[in-house]
Amino acid sequence: MRTRRSVRPAQALAGVLLAAGLALTGCSAAGGSGDSSSDKAAVPDARSEAQAGGFQEDAKQGAGDSGSQATSAPKVTPNRIIRTASLTVQVKDVTDALDEARTTTENAGGYVGDESTTRDGDGTERTRLVLRVPVARYDDVLADLQGAGKLLERTAKAQDVTDQVVDVESRIKTQQASVARVRELMDQATKLSDVVTLEGELSRRESDLEALLAQQASLKDRTSLATVTLNLREKPVEEAAGDDDPGFVDALAGGWDAFVTMLRWIAVAFGAVLPFLVVAALLVAGWLRLRRGRRRTSPAGEPGQD
């Protein structure tokens, strides 16, 4: 009986020692594998990190755009509207009207963007101007330009680009952060292949950033300055002479011209008939003289016959 009891504690002690040994072996193996994996992770793959950064940028861009629109939209000013207009005005003198249009534009703080002048086959002169004026003076400039003569045609357009402006601003901020991130990775890269890969990625992202900045500058220019296309046409001579309604003086002058014309035709007709009248008068006068001579001679001849 004593022998069986002494054997069981010995077996239990041996099992405990074996389990402890296995645990220590597992810990050492785990520690070794952990060290090797940490050594491999210590040298980052620059290309995969750049691509991962690009994916994170695209994922954050949508949230950044919506968040920036939600916060910036209420602060947008009316200058986020692109205003354009086209006027066609008929004037007596294109040169004078052109000088007045230039003066009006310069006084409003704008400038003449484009100018072209042509002359038709009948001698009518036409000039086309592209004017850039501040949005604050847009309505005043239009009123002055169309008052220079007879307005033939007018078109105006307003395009709201607020969402586009906010979207471009958000993309610029995201792209600037992306460029800065790639530059940091270039500073940390040690392999030549990683440097070459990062340089190509940096060049692409800087090109995208420049395109966004150019788009932002174009939107700023079009929203701060309105574009007015002015077409000046010279008034034809016959229209310039007869565009007013006739009055009493015009009617009197017209009647006098008709009276003079009638007298002229009467004089022409009288001149044409005058030779015939002279001949007829001579014939009548000769006939009358001949008749009178017969009357005088007939009474004196009667007594001599008796």
29-51 confidence digits (pLDDT tens): 444 444 433 333 333 444 444 44
Counting runs of H as helices and runs of E as strands, what totals does the chain give? 8, 5
* Tokens 């994170």 belong to residue: 56
Residue 295 lies in a domain: no
Sign of the C-alpha dihedral, residues 289, 294, 299, 301? positive
- For β-strands 150-160 and 225-234, DSSP reports them as unpaired
Residues of the domain holding 138: 43-74+81-242
**What tokens appear for 85 in the block?**
């207009």
**What tokens appear for 121 in the block?**
């086959």
pLDDT tens profile 264-286: 888 888 888 888 888 888 888 88
Residue 272 lies in a domain: no
Q: What is the mean pLDDT of residues 174-190?
A: 90
Hey, is 109 helix, strand or coil? coil
Give CA–CA dist 100/140, Å, rounded.
Answer: 14
Residue 216 lies in a domain: yes
- Per-residue pLDDT band for 207 (boundaries 50, 70, 90) equals very high
Yes or no: say if 126 and 118 are a contact pair by the CB < 8 Å rule.
Answer: yes
Longest distance between any two alpha carbons in the chain, whole Å: 233
Average pLDDT, the chain: 74
pLDDT higher than 70, residue 27: no
Residue 294 lies in a domain: no
- Per-residue pLDDT band for 237 (boundaries 50, 70, 90) equals low
Task: Of 168, 162, 167, give the one whose Cα is nearest residue 75.
Answer: 162
Give CA–CA dist 207/182, Å, rounded.
Answer: 14
Bridge partners (DSSP) of residue 127 are 117, 232
Residue 224 lies in a domain: yes
Residue 37 lies in a domain: no
Q: What is the pTM of this model?
A: 0.48
- Per-residue pLDDT band for 109 (boundaries 50, 70, 90) equals very high
- Per-residue pLDDT band for 227 (boundaries 50, 70, 90) equals very high
Highest mean pLDDT among 6-20, 127-141, 231-245: 127-141
Residue 178 lies in a domain: yes
Give CA–CA dist 90/234, Å, rounded.
Answer: 6
Measure Cα distances from 197 to 92, 186, 187, 202, 275 in Å: 68, 9, 13, 9, 116
Residue 65 lies in a domain: yes
Yes or no: say if 159 and 82 are a contact pair by the CB < 8 Å rule.
Answer: yes
Q: What domain count does the chain have?
A: 1
